[in-house]
Chain A
């Protein structure tokens, strides 16, 4: 018996061999830039000149002097709280609806995925602007229902939700993952639930959700991570305006780095973002333990 355990342990060490490519990749391709950016966050580095150590100055300025930081921090969180649940719920609903036999279902799935294909293109950003302008389609529809016209992208209250809508519209990737996960749910579990006389909601709650929880969890983590760093769509459509109401932290950091050449300061912002995401991720991991269902019984 003892012998078997030690051979079992020896076998476990083989894990190192499998993760070796990543380990090499991390050490060779990623580690140095990481350390550099961490060091830069304590300097006045401007890309063109060599960095001079400045202690905690960047962080102090960020938290106490810079009036934009807290605004951007807030905007970023609102963006995250809209888009992450929005995307995941949309993805889950659509994936459930798509997980069935129906004529032309392949085509439909493709249709729901297409927005994610086109998402990043400039053309779509332009279109989004045209749709939401004062004489655009959206206001036309509102007008038909007797609702007042809105300056969607020109108004400080509606600009951010408009950007969020565009992001949520691109839920396709999450949907694909959910679909793949749904297909993996063993049918006999549903049959067993049927025998117990469970309703649709019970089945959803007690079978579907636990079975695909690893993938939902993965999506929550990754989408949060992306949302807290996001800026592309807002950058193209509103450039952070009006009045900084869509000035995401990612955009601020990008401008500090490449428009103002304050690489040291931008690095400090990055590490604040890093720390934020890290805390959120660790909280999610802790909260999820026991709630996310793994076939390996949490043996990780």
Chain B
């Protein structure tokens, strides 16, 4: 038992040290927000010569009167509905695939996964033309529509895998007790799926938040720009790039994500009382 405890301590020390190492690049980036360009590229020192917050102040002002407040609001206007719709629709679709045996299920599931396999570059332009014919260019519809319709095979597949890890007897027995299939889904499976649903929501939040290509393509007006677009506005080969500003804003834009992850983890890492239900 004692040996076990020492092992435990050693493991704790290792993961802490490794964690700090993992974080080094991020720390560097944070400290770079206080540096001049010459310091960033010309010196190996980690600490800045002085703590100059102008990168944050100037950076937040954005470009041409549009500040980061606008970019943040726009981003949340896209991200929050997308996350809610995605989790709702993908879990329904996943339920359909995981718990029902209907003719053509396997080919359909393969079809679903296969839509992830074609590189985006060649679908981009036909899809742009299609969405344009729906009148969706320069609106947020290209983000909402796929979320509402559950066309995120990654999440459907992921939720199917989690659902298949839950004993079928659970919802089966609920069904026999007179619940409808939807009721069984909401009352029995959803609570058990909480960690998976939260991770799906978290990933969708982060990926939509960081997505550059789709906002670039579908959003034209500067007032509708998202953070990911704003972060690249200063980057241009033909001008002196204010890296402290760029890094400062990159750092600030990640703070909501860090907070989200930190505070949401109790949901997706909490143990679920499935003991005794299996086998």
Contacts and interface: CB of A to CB of B under 8 A. Distances in A.
16 contacts: A11-B175, A14-B100, A15-B96, A16-B96, A18-B97, A21-B148, A22-B156, A33-B123, A107-B262, A108-B15, A127-B32, A180-B199, A186-B275, A278-B114, A294-B165, A300-B105
A122 B235 contact: yes
Q: Helix, strand, loop or mixed for chain B's interface?
A: helix
Contacts of A250: 119, 121
A104 to B, nearest CB: 8
B165 A32 contact: no
Contact of A270 (B122, B195, B210): B122
Interface residues of A, number: 101
B12 interface: yes
Interface in A25-83: 25-26, 28-30, 32-34, 36-37, 40, 47
A178 to B, nearest CB: 10
Contacts of B243: 123, 126
B54 interface: no
B72 interface: no
Interface stretch (B58-66, B73-81, B87-95): B87-95
Contacts of A169: 22
A285 to B, nearest CB: 9
Contacts of A126: 243
Interface in B115-173: 115-123, 125-127, 130, 145-146, 148-151, 154, 156-158, 161-162, 164-168
Given A117-B254, A122-B235, A274-B117, A24 B149 contact: yes
Nearest to B11: A97
B188 to A, nearest CB: 13
Interface stretch (A128-136, A145-153, A154-162): A128-136
A179 B121 contact: no
Taking residues whose C-beta sits less than 8 angstroms from the other chain, chain B's interface range is 35 or more
A163 interface: no
B56 interface: no
B269 interface: yes
Contacts of B165: 181, 184, 211, 214-215, 294-295
Contacts of B115: 26, 30, 34
B95 A115 contact: no
B270 interface: yes
Given A294-B164, A299-B168, A25 B150 contact: yes
| Residue among B118, B158, B168, B235 having the largest count of chain A Cβ atoms under 10 Å | B118
A160 to B, nearest CB: 20
B25 A115 contact: yes
